[in-house]
Amino acid sequence: MLRIGMLTSGGDCQALNAAMRGVFKTVTKNSKEPVEFYGFEDGYKGLIYGKFRILTEADFSNILTVGGTILGTSRCPFKTIREPDEKGLDKVAAMKQTYYKLQLNCLVMLGGNGSHKTANLLSEEGLNVVTLPKTIDNDLWGTDMTFGFQSAVDIATRAIDEIHTTASSHGRVFIVEVMGHKVGWLPLNAGLAGGADIILLPEIPYDIKKVVDVIEKRDREGHRFTIIAVAEGAISKEDAKLSKKEYKKKLANSKFPSVTYELADQIFRETGREVRVTVPGHVQRGGAPVAYDRVFASRLGAEAASLILKGEYGFMVGYKNREMVKVPLSEVAGKLKTVDPNARIIKEAKLMGVSFGD
């Protein structure tokens, strides 16, 4: 009997169900022995507290196009994973106990950056673990692409698309705040696809004077509006000089809910122009996965299943140079894949006249 546990961890995104379906279908159709799948509810919490259900073929029927996750998910921060819960429970020991009690042959984890730290920890503790790269942020080390990213790019792009007509009609500056956590992959791609005039990324601290210069230049050229795509983690050159502690203190004492609103206030004071902020927010993580993500997540699931059938554990299935690869969890955990300010895509965008505020 081949017993496989599966969980989804961290923020949800599109194609989680497609990826799990890929694992299930590949294993059940190719295993030479009977298979049982155990789905842990709400991420690592299900593994810690033994909350699971047996998954059957019916669970994976008609879910290829469904967003979210049929197992539910939650965040279990890695920095507290070694700390006992409110009742004194050792969370790592509890996860291992659940794993061995169910006599699992392996655990399949679908998650992002923080979730992979815990997956690597469990692997180091002796559990057989295989993971799949999930996040709309596309910030996982060891893979060129994560599933959920392309779907989020499409949603963020549509948000920017819809802003064009109202921005033009009223002659306003519009700022669209795009998700992406600490990296700029999502706002970079959505900004380019949506024709943003200015794109502000965490990796390229911006100068407010440069941002204002672009707006005023467009005014002189007869353009009625300016659209700015701003990463939720964007930072000014002044703030980038602060220590992490100083910057956190500034944010805690700020009257603005995010850097986007602070930027809007600065632009208004510098130019007198009407500025409006649009925040698509969690809409970017919702809805059905686009065709690319359905195919990509299915392929990742099939590759993860192949590793399981071969008994190869301790890997994340990644995508490098248009090929599926297996990446040791120890190389993935704790590393962030950021946008290189000197990357070709940045240089190409600048050639087309896009400003990054630098």
> How many Cα neighbours within 13 Å face the side chain of 87?
5
Q: Which residues contact 56 (CB under 8 A, 6 or more apart)?
A: 37
- The pair of three-digit structure tokens given for residue 241, joined into one six-digit string: 């000089």
Question: Which has the closest alpha carbon to 52: 118, 103, 119, 128?
Answer: 103
- The pair of three-digit structure tokens given for residue 178, joined into one six-digit string: 């795009």
Question: Counting every residue, how long is the chain?
Answer: 358
CA distance 51 to 111: 18
Catalytic residue among 42, 137, 154, 197: 137
CA separation, residue 138 to residues 49, 50, 133, 143 (Å)? 30, 30, 9, 9
- The pair of three-digit structure tokens given for residue 202, joined into one six-digit string: 């965490």
Catalytic: 137? yes
Cβ pair 87, 62 in contact under 8 A: no
CA distance 207 to 326: 40
End-to-end CA distance of the chain: 59
Q: Kindly give the pairing relationship between strand 323-328 and strand 315-320.
A: antiparallel
CA separation, residue 117 to residues 113, 129, 160, 212 (Å)? 7, 12, 34, 41
Sign, Cα dihedral of 346, 351, 357, 358: positive
What residues act catalytically? 137
